[in-house]
Structure 1
């Protein structure tokens, strides 16, 4: 069994004062990142130090598939670290901290949001990275599908829930033209329905991640794997209790 953790932005606390922070993406989609989806660098360092001290193994998506479908064992202390959306802070702060700890992570990419060229780091907005910047970090990060242009919301629905099945399938295929891992998906905003699951199945996806908290076992539906959102300034004791429950 294993837990999956999801992060969006890791930043120094002095950059987390003005909320919400607007996002800046290549396709022009407009939204804002709320404070709970940020994590401070100080807390992230403590969390990584705990995992390191407890000898946790950071899983790859291939190991997750082998565990679920081929009955391959995983270390007793295993965790899957994930990031969504590819904001600049992932490169600026998360990447060096993960590399220093010797950990890897899986990243869910909205390919339509990626810029053609790198931009200077801009603390005032949540700007997305470029393809070349992601490719330079493959020693730590592996990349999977988070849609091409379908990371949009309307109330408690994501775009994949109101567009046609054919259009959603086409968007998945467009994202897969870039991401190396083409059969793993993360639901934008954690929103999905049975039609979403059915489309993923038809398009050959084997794993999909929600934002529902919990421990994943071989009995967890592989297209409804659970992820724990690690919120802003989560106390270290609360973080530790995730692994002792």
Structure 2
């Protein structure tokens, strides 16, 4: 059994207090990142240090694939750290913390959002990194598929992967595979998916796919419907320990 955590924006609390921000992405898609998807640098540092100091074992995607494909046992207190969308704050604030603690993580990269050229850190926007900036974090982050241009939504119940034809979805996903290091692992945009989404990934040969449903993952969990826990900035350490199943 293992737990997967998902983060988006990691910012100082004073920046979070300024409120929700519009995203700024290369393909021009417009949206706003909900505040529950932010976590503060202060909390994130304390949470990662707590995991490191209390014997948690940080997983790689290869270990999880082996767990489902070959029944290879996972270590006790197994945890996977993931990030979505490749925001600037992940490099500015999260990456140094993870590197200092020697904690590996996965970055689900929507390649159509990623810029060709780097820009100065934008406090007023949830701005995405450049390809070169993502590559500079490869000693910590493994990149995986989060669609190319299909990281879009209608409301809170339907993503573009759900309304486009299977052929178009498959083509977009395969296009993203040109930009990531692990081409067998996917995260559903916004955590939204349906039976069609799972079928497309099965036909494309994906081994793992992550939702945003909260829970632990066990051997009985469908590897194309893996759960992830969002860690919001409002969490206290007591809340965090409850998520870990310690309280």
Please report the TM-score for the alignment, with normalisation by the length of structure 1. Answer: 0.98
Structure 1 stretch 11-20 or stretch 220-229: which is displaced more?
Answer: 11-20
Q: Distance in 2 between matches of 1:112 and 1:94?
A: 22
Distance apart, 1:232 and its partner CA: 1.9
In structure 2, the partner of 1:28 is 28
Determine the C-alpha separation between the residues in 2 that align with 1:83 and 1:191: 16
Deviation at 1:98, TM superposition (A): 0.5
Residue aligned with 1:238, SS: helix
Paired position in structure 1 for 2:103: 103
- Residue by residue over 1:87-109, the C-alpha shift from the partner in whole angstroms, topping out at 9 and shown as x without a partner, is 00000000000011110101100
Q: Aligned partners of 2:111, 2:86: CA distance in 1, in Å?
A: 9
Give yes or no for the alignment of 1:244 onto 2:245.
yes
Q: Does the 8 Å contact 1:187/1:210 carry over to 2?
A: yes
Q: 1:56-82: per-residue Cα shift (whole Å, max 9, x none)?
A: 111110111011111112210110000
Residue equivalent to 2:188: 187
1:130-160 CA-to-partner distances (Å, cap 9, x unmatched) read 1101111111000000000000000210000
Q: Tell me the SS of whatever aligns to 2:6.
A: strand
Gaps of 5+ in 2: none
Aligned pair count?
Answer: 245
User: Does the Cα contact within 8 Å between 1:19 and 1:34 map onto a contact in 2?
Assistant: no
Question: Aligned equivalents of 1:231 and 1:151: distance in 2?
Answer: 21
Q: What aligned pairs does 1:163-174 form with structure 2 within 5 A after superposition? A: 163-174=164-175
Displaced runs of 4 or more, over 2 A: none
Indicate yes or no: 2:129 matched with 1:129: yes
Task: Give the Cα–Cα distance (whole angstroms) in 1 for the partners of residues 40 and 244 of structure 2.
Answer: 20
1:190 is displaced (CA, Å) by 0.6
Q: What SS does structure 2 have at the residue aligned with 1:33?
A: coil
Task: Name the structure 2 match of 1:205.
Answer: 206
- The equivalent residue for 2:67 is 67
